[in-house]
Structure formats: C-alpha cells, structure tokens
Structure 1
Amino acid sequence: MSSYELLPGAPESPVLLHVPHSARTIPADVRAGIVLDDAALERELDHITDAHTAELAERAAVLAGVTPWRFVNRLSRLVVDPERFPDEREEMTAVGMGAVYTRTTHRAELRPAGTDPEPLLARYFRPYARAMTEAVAERLAATGRAVVIDVHSYPSEPLPYELHGAGPRPPVCLGTDTFHTPPELTEAARRAFAVCGGTGLDAPFAGTYVPLAFHGLDARVTALMVEIRRDTYMTEPGGPAGPGLEPPAKALSELINAICSAP
C-alpha cells in the first residue's frame, strides 16, 4: 500500500489539507524493528496518534463551499514522521523523535540504540516528501497560490516528550511560520475557530509544514498548523470521537471558505 493518499478537491481550490498523524497502521516488517510488546505499542499509538483528524478534515471538506484537496498519511508516524527534518536540524532528535523515532512519548525505548534510519527514510519519508511537494506545485500551477493547512490534535495534559509543554493548552493552538504565515491567514483562523472556545498562537506547538523545495523561498505558498485539543472532541488517550468533532470541522470549513474567497 502507498503510505499516503492525495484526495482531489475542486480544480480552483488553492487549499491543501495535510493530515500527517492520524493513522495507526504499521507494516509488519516495520513492526519487527519496534521493541514494544503488542499491548505497550497499542498504548503508545493511543498517545502519539492524532486520532480522528482525517475524519475531521474529511468533514470540513464536505462542508466547505469549494472542496479543498487533502493529503493524508495512511501510516502511523511511528513508521516515519513526515514533518520532521531527517537530519540534525530537527530539535526533536534530542528526545529520540526525529524523522524515525527511537523513543516513545514517555521516553522509553521504541527502537534499539544504533538503529539505522536510512531504510525507512528511503522507503517512506522521501517518497512522501516528493509527493507532497508535487501536490503543492500542482496547486501553484492551477491557482497561482497554495495554502497548506496542517491538521493535528494534541493531548490535554503534556506528555514527557514535549519540549515546550509548559504553559496554557488552549482548545485550538495555531502554529505559524514567519515567512509562510501572513497575518491575514492567522486572523482568519482565529475568527473561524473562536466557536471552539478560543485559540492560542505557537504554544504549546509552533511552526507549520511547508515542503523544503518551497520553504523560505516561495511566498506564494502559505501555511498554518491547526492543533485541536483532544479532550474537546474525543475520549483520551485513544478513544472514540464524540459530538465535539463537529465544531472544529465546521470551523475548518469556514477557514477554507475565507481562504478561497480572499483575492
């Protein structure tokens, strides 16, 4: 199976919803390199997975006036994390959670020390990055701009792996980039997600995803990360979604509408 899926939207839509962390699937040969037993692995997946974010993005796409495109990771981030840098630029490498994780959310061993990340990078990380780059390029070619909305969730209580977990944990955290997130995109998101109980900016999670081919180079590519606090829409740590999923889905659709109506 492919590790990702590009779900088409309207030809005139510049919006690409990126859903990188919603899946729990781990191929059997990758599972063999993980030291956790089955029960411990299920617990880790409960904590690390942005559960139901693919459904949230799908619902928002249905509600939006102009259907956005969706790029969805179909494998767990325990295979590779497509949003990390695969080298020393990634600060999460310090806690064993770079592009290929070696530690869990609770800093226990996930893969043996000295595990070579290259086979997983070659098989999964780089093809994913190429496909995401192509998807953004296609929106640029079709509409003259591309707007990447990164769809995530985060736990109500900080986990040990978090480097910046102290401080407020608002119902919705918006992550920005100094080059790729214009003020009008941030403000549109604040207005749209006000119905969810309030937003915070770049805390406890900061930044957003832009493919490296465009990062810091092409201002036609704009981006924003949306982190929904999990207790507002689901049973933590890995339980079902409830009626709380509808407000952020509707808010995301309103953000998409605002982006598409902007000049």
Structure 2
Amino acid sequence: MAPAHQPFHLLPGAADSPVLLHVPHASRIVPTEVRAGIVLDDEALEREIDHITDSHTAELAERAAIASAVTPWRFVNGLSRLVTDPERFPDEREEMLAVGMGAVYTHTTHRERLRAPDTDPQPLIDRYFHPYAEAMTAAVDARLAATGRAVVIDVHSYPTAPLPYELHGAGPRPPVCLGTDAFHTPPGLLAEAEKAFAGFGGTGLNSPFPGTYVPLKHYGEDPRVTALMIEVRRDVYMREPGGPAGSGLTTLAAALAALVDALSRPDEQVARP
C-alpha cells in the first residue's frame, strides 16, 4: 500500500547551484497507519508534535530560495520525524537511542512512552527511512555531477528552553547555533555562515546540537561534499510551542539567502576544504 502522503520532496533549483537546503523536521504529518502504532491520545500527540517539529523551517527555506540570486535545491521531508527521523542512524551506534529517539522514536521529548515496548521499528525503517536516505544520496550525487561539489545546509530550529530529551541541554543556547563536522565543514563555510547570521545577536557552535547531515555514502569519504547545520532558536522567529511565525522569519530568510549566494558563486572556494 502506498503511503497516504508524499514522504519527501526534491524541489529543483538552478542547474548550476551546488547548494542543497535540507529540511528534515518541518512537517507535522503522521499518516493514519503510523498513528495506529502510537500510544498517545490525539491531544497528547498534537502537543508532542508542537514540541518536536521545527515549525516554519520549510517556509524559511522556500523564502530563502526565492530570494537567492542562484536558486538552491531543496530536499524537504513531507512527514513528521515521529514517523522516522532521517537524521538518525537505524542502529545501536546512535546515542539518541539512550532517550528513545533513534531512527524510530519510542519516547517523547518529555521522556514519556510514544510506542509500545514490543514495537518492531524495521517496517517503518524499510518503508520510510531507507527510501528517504536513498533519495537524499541521489540528490547529493546529482549536485556533484552537475557542479563538481555539493553543499548541504541543514535547516532546523530548537526550543528556547531545553526539553527533557536533550543530551546536551545544559550548554549555551544562542540565537543561531551552527553545527559542524570536522571533515565536511571547512573554515570558509563556517565563516560565511557566521557573517550571514551575525545580525541575530551572535552565533554559537555545536550547542545545544552538534554535527551535520551528510549521506552515509559520502560521510568521511568525499571532501567535495561540504555541510553545515543551522539551528535557529525558536523565540527568534515564532511563538512557542507550535505557534505562528513572526517577523523574524523574514529576516532569517534574508540571512539564509545571503549565505546561499556566498556559497553559489562559481569562483567561490568557501565551501571547499
């Protein structure tokens, strides 16, 4: 049976753009057949979706793409991360398993039970996680083939106050957190991001959330793939939790567009090792 909703969307950009804006956690959609395996009632589930969703980040990426001189490509998750989280590993190496938030979540942001203890995650991984990962890998490969490089910019948000599931919630919570990887985030890429988002009262590095998303095929192997995670503190642009966006979204979109433009110039080396 086909999924009730499109699980992901690859939205084309300019043929000569190396930039891929990745938006994995913006959707609130949990298909009916997936809801059947969740133990929360409807009210509690909607409350959890408010907390777990990076609300308005798909719109942020869309506005930035429209404003960019060279339109970036966008890969947007069409389903909630409560279905599967495409940025987790589906095996025991993922530290978020410790709080029940691996590729298939078993617990909520408040460490309450989300799925029954005997839930088999494999059907969800096979149906949703692996096709997403394969499509994202193909999207990166296409940018490499077209331009000789690929720049993956992860677009996220995070709550102003730490939630109980956070493993590193005691650290700094700047207006904009930049997540990096030792192999895939060259200094020039980080410097351009710091410049683009300087107007928000400062950026921080890898706190409260570290790292970047790179497909496993390329991770630690292909220096032509560079990456950065952008985590915007939600009070900068919206009412928490799960409320409407404010005027900050427009300012953020302009900053993200400026970063995309800096990374898209044909002679620009900032996104290269």
The TM-score bracket by the shorter chain reads over 0.9
Q: Aligned residue for 1:13? A: 17
1:89 is aligned with what amino acid?
R
Q: Aligned residue for 2:226? A: 222
Aligned partner of residue 50 in structure 2, secondary structure? helix
2:202 is aligned with what amino acid?
G
Q: Aligned residue for 1:62? A: 66
2:10 is aligned with what amino acid?
L
Pick aligned residue for 2:106 from 78, 98, 102: 102
Q: Aligned residue for 1:35? A: 39
What does 1:119-158 align with in structure 2 at a 5 Å threshold? 119-158=123-162
**Is structure 2 residue 148 aligned with structure 1 residue 162?**
no
The 2-side partners of 1:39 and 1:260 are apart by 44
Which whole-Å deviations, capped at 9, do the CAs of 1:188-242 have from their partners, x for residues lacking one?
0000000122100001100000000000000000000000000110000110001
The 1-side partners of 2:120 and 2:138 are apart by 28
Scaled by the length of structure 1, the TM-score of the pair is 0.99
**Is structure 2 residue 241 aligned with structure 1 residue 237?**
yes
Q: Aligned residue for 2:253? A: 249
1:62 is aligned with what amino acid?
I
Pick aligned residue for 1:189 from 188, 193, 200: 193
Note the C-alpha offset of 1:71. 0.1
**Which piece of structure 1 moves more, 103-112 or 252-261?**
252-261
Note the C-alpha offset of 1:114. 2.2
Aligned-pair identity (%):
72
Note the C-alpha offset of 1:2. 2.5
The 1-side partners of 2:263 and 2:201 are apart by 22
What does 1:42-57 align with in structure 2 at a 5 Å threshold? 42-57=46-61
Preserved CA contact (<8 Å) 1:196 1:247: no
2:168 is aligned with what amino acid?
H
The 2-side partners of 1:58 and 1:170 are apart by 24
Aligned partner of residue 80 in structure 1, secondary structure? coil
CA RMSD in angstroms comes to 0.6
Preserved CA contact (<8 Å) 1:105 1:161: yes
Matched residue count: 263
The 1-side partners of 2:42 and 2:66 are apart by 36
Preserved CA contact (<8 Å) 1:195 1:247: no
Q: Aligned residue for 1:213? A: 217
Which whole-Å deviations, capped at 9, do the CAs of 1:92-150 have from their partners, x for residues lacking one?
00000000000000000000012110000000000000000000000000000000000
Q: Which runs of 5+ in 1 are unaligned?
A: none
The 2-side partners of 1:132 and 1:39 are apart by 33
Preserved CA contact (<8 Å) 1:173 1:202: yes
Aligned partner of residue 212 in structure 1, secondary structure? coil
**Which piece of structure 1 moves more, 216-225 or 244-253?**
244-253
